[in-house]
Amino acid sequence: MNIDELRELINYHSNLYYTLDEPQISDFEYDELMNKLKQLEKENPELITPDSPTQRIGGQVLDGFEKVTHTVQMQSLNDVFDRESVVEFGKKTEAAVDGNVEYITELKIDGLSVSLEYRNGYFFRGSTRGDGITGEDVTENLKTIRNIPLKIKDALPYLEVRGEVFMPHASFNALNKLQEETEQKPFKNPRNAAAGSLRQLDSSIAAQRKLDIFVFNIQQIEGKEISTHKEGLEYLAYLGFKTIPEIPVSSDIEDAFAEVERIGDMRDSLDFDIDGAVIKVNSLAQREILGSTAKCPKWAVAYKYPPEIKETKLLDIVVQVGRTGVLTPNAVLESVRLAGTTVSRATLHNIDYIQEKDIRIGDTVLVQKAGDIIPEVVSVVTNKRTGEESVFKMPQRCPVCGAAVYREDGEAAVRCTGSACSAQLARNIIHFASRDAMDIEGLGPALVEKLLENGLISSVCDLYKLDVETVAGLDKMGMKSAENLVSAIEKSKKNDLSRLIFALGIRHVGARNAKILAMHFLTLDALMDADEESISSIDEIGTVIAKSLVNFFNQSQNVQMIENLRESGLNFKCNESVSEGIFTGKTFVLTGTLPSMTRSEASKLISDNGGKVSSSVSKKTHYVLAGEDAGSKLDKANALGITVITEDEFKNMLSGR
């Protein structure tokens, strides 16, 4: 058997196993064939072809994903939620085409939509849907999906098809088991896992995730005439694609809705998630007549099933601290099968939700999946209470770090006040290093996670203890990258006080507020010693921000963090002075999209020339700089008689004209 025959044999068995689910040989026999091919290609690299089964293994590591512009827009679908809306869709469709209409009813796979492109029969590019017009090139990761043919049966000049990448339940359960064994965060649901896997820069990781795909549409085709959707799907199956299941043709809309109900009844038996059923017009000629809106075709609708509700026992309520410091109560449940997965936890949102529904530990409750994704407790079966149920109370201190918790007036969320709380540590460090904060170039989310995983940092203060040799020892970090990072961290010590105030991540304190505070108090120590009254008296700084600042500086762990930063040599003084210029004494409000500059750039020009930028329009406002799609701020300015200027007028003012 020569190498071409061996490839053909492997591709034949791959199609039987992965696409048709009709294997004829054992996994061991298949692996033997694959190993033989690998060895032959290793010995004869010049014989490797683009469609060889070995090209699915992955291993190429990309710096990022290239953008892809879809020549045929990858549109979304209009949603309907009841039979009446489906029937109305049918009536409008039949009236528009003035004739009989056939419908196709398909499963709506809950995954990630992609485009697959073939030239002369060979797969050459795959991309994500993105915003429907521009997506990302994920060709290398898509090659690892066994159901995507690298070569199709007919050498068509060009073919573009659309499919939905998903993760079967078996693959999802195996992946989350591995995540837990390696002490990594499990994925919330198969759709998130599929999306995350498809966007891995290392294609060997995508290969391990065992993704799957159903192809459901021909976007463009050259060299073949297709007249109906069903004919197109049958042709795609002939070419070697795994096409969307459940494609009965219905002669009227009532029959189509009956198929929707049948699909709904079989949801629990599927090994993958669906989030509805799609009804499409079968005739491509009629689709041309019906056309599309800017985002959705008029020849299809997506029916969304009502959430499935099950009864179970609420065993306990535990509190989880999120990355933003919010304490979220979660229900521990007796396991119940719900919308295709086993559920043992459900969100209770917040303490108001618990009190409003009178949810108690020990209750029998009704549970559903919100949007078929997140389990939540809907209500209590009060007639099953025994009197042994207990009322839940939110803790007064963070269950992770022990810091005091607080709840602002008008908010449902209870928050941890600890800046060093490990539950929100990664987010705090990422914010600390961000562009508007300490601007530590090269310290992105992935590197922060890597530093935390390796125990090199446990707070923002530890960033200033990192050395080049230690950082260079991290996986995929070279000496030059390590030198650049340590240099950027050292450089950040000299940043102005305003950046440091913003970097501390104090609730309600944005970059502009931080600058106002720095220029008023001049030192961090003066700000820390200030009371609510003196802070709230500052123009543009209200009582909410003042209270948040005082609460932050009253927490011992926050004070300790600041002292550690002082010892590391960070600048605690304001280096900037109030600029004098043509806008001195003038207050601007910006609204809408400006033609040639961002609002941040315009704000800087105003500040550099002595002016102030406010976030809200009042009688004290001198000018409103308005761009395209200006909203309520423009309306209020007109109502108050405040001068509204365009970007051109603003530039004329800057140049003295």
Residues assigned a catalytic role: 108
E-assigned strand segments in 431-553: none
Beta-carbon-side half-sphere exposure of residue 378 (alpha carbons within 13 Å): 13
Q: Does residue 446 contact residue 476 with C-beta atoms inside 8 Å?
A: no
Angle at alpha carbon of residue 640, lines to 635 and 646, rounded to 5°: 55
DSSP bridge pairs for 212: 166
For residue 567, what are its two tokens? 């010892």
Cβ contacts of 23 within 8 Å, gap of 6 or more: 13, 16, 17
Classify strands 274-281 and 300-303 as parallel, antiparallel or unpaired. antiparallel
Q: Report the C-alpha gap between 178 and 185 in whole angstroms.
A: 10
Distances (CA, A) of 264 to 257, 261, 304, 376: 11, 5, 10, 21
Q: Which residues pair with 92 in a beta bridge?
A: none
End-to-end CA distance of the chain: 83
Tokens 């908010």 -> residue = 411
- Whether the Cβ atoms of residue 247 and residue 230 lie closer than 8 Å to each other: yes
Print burial letters for 65-97: b (CB count within 10 Å at least 16), e (below 16). beebebeeebbebeebeeeeebbebbeebbebb
The candidate with the shortest Cα–Cα distance to 614, out of 655, 642, 641, is: 642
Please give the Cα distance from 378 to 307 (Å, whole number): 11
Residues contacting 439, CB < 8 A, separation 6+: 433, 492, 495, 499
Q: Which two tokens stand for residue 251?
A: 């002669």
Tokens of 344: 């043992």
Residue 575 in contact with residue 496, Cβ under 8 Å? yes
Identity at 382, one-letter amino acid code: T
Interstrand relation of 587-591 and 364-370 (parallel, antiparallel or unpaired): unpaired
Give the closest residue to 294 by CA, choosing from 83, 563, 76. Answer: 76
Residues 189, 165 contacting (CB under 8 angstroms): no
Find the helix or strand (DSSP H, E) in which 206 lies: helix 203-208
Number of residues that this document lists for the chain:
657
Stretch (H or E) spanning 341: strand 341-347
Within 76-174, strands assigned E span 78-80, 103-109, 112-119, 122-128, 134-136, 158-166
Q: Which two tokens stand for residue 325?
A: 């410091």
What whole-number distance in Å separates Cα of residue 257 and Cα of residue 250? 9
Is residue 180 within 8 A of residue 186, CB to CB? The reply is yes
Round to whole Å and give the CA distance between 612 and 311. Answer: 58
**What are the b/e assignments for 551-581, b being 16+ CB within 10 Å?**
bbbebebbeebbebbeeeebbbebeeeeeee
* CA 630 – CA 71 distance, rounded (Å): 31
